[in-house]
């Protein structure tokens, strides 16, 4: 984790002169909604549920973006469909733009990798938080310089404790869409 943060800091410092020459729309905020899909062993425990999330991003330059993303998933248990299982995903990410719009309007795409944590809030007095890694993409259609529609398929792998949530690697996929506001 420390290496990842050090690498992000070095990239930010190296890109600072280039970023200083870009327009003022380097920051963005996303409001997202969709589904959180558990797969592999965790799907034996939790059903697909609704997801809500947000992203705060900063474009270092034309290609690189750093992001902080939070997703909240509301699941039901697989056995009865009655018990609530909530997941909270906290990720720091580095994105690389693979498609840029040719003007202020148009399609944009980036691939991202990151790390952070996923908390499983299960029935009872306990919740469990585990280190997690992330991979995903952001595909956006820019309406203009300030607003975009964004689709955000992500994959989070939490390195969990089997004795606590019945698996030692919980694969959970937040797939969301929403609005990006750039400033």
Q: What angle do CA 85, 91, 94 make, to 5 degrees?
A: 150
Residue 165 binned pLDDT confidence (cut-offs 50, 70, 90): confident
Cα 20 from Cα 123, distance rounded (Å)? 49
19-34 pLDDT per residue, tens? 444 455 899 999 999 9
- For residue 24, the model assigns a pLDDT of 59
Q: Work out the mean pLDDT of the chain and round it to a whole number.
A: 88
55's tokens: 């992203």
- For residue 127, the model assigns a pLDDT of 93
Identify which of 70, 56, 68 has the alpha carbon closest to the alpha carbon of residue 119. Answer: 70
Q: Hey, which CATH number is domain 2-182, 3.40.50.880, 3.30.1050.10, 3.40.50.1220, 2.40.160.20?
A: 2.40.160.20
Domain ranges of the chain: 2-182
Cα 98 from Cα 64, distance rounded (Å)? 10
- 99-120: average pLDDT: 94
Neighbouring CB atoms inside 10 A of 113's CB total: 14
Cα–Cα distances (Å) from 75 to 46, 51, 136, in that order, read: 6, 9, 21
């Amino acid at each position: 984790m420390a290496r990842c943060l050090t690498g992000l800091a070095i990239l930010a410092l190296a890109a600072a002169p280039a970023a200083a020459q870009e327009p003022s729309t380097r920051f963005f905020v996303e409001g997202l909604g969709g589904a959180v899909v558990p797969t592999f062993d965790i799907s034996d425990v939790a059903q697909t549920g609704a997801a809500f999330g947000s992203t705060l991003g900063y474009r270092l330059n034309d290609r690189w973006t750093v992001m902080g993303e939070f997703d909240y998933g509301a699941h039901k248990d697989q056995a009865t469909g009655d018990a609530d299982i909530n997941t909270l995903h906290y990720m720091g990410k580095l994105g690389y733009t693979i498609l840029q719009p040719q003007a202020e309007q148009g399609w944009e795409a980036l691939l991202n990798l990151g790390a952070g944590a996923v908390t499983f809030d299960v029935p009872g007095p306990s919740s469990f938080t585990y280190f997690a890694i992330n991979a995903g993409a952001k595909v956006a259609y820019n309406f203009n310089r300030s607003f975009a529609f964004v689709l955000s398929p992500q994959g989070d792998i939490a390195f969990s404790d089997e004795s606590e949530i019945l698996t030692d690697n919980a694969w959970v996929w937040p797939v969301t869409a929403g609005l990006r506001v750039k400033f």
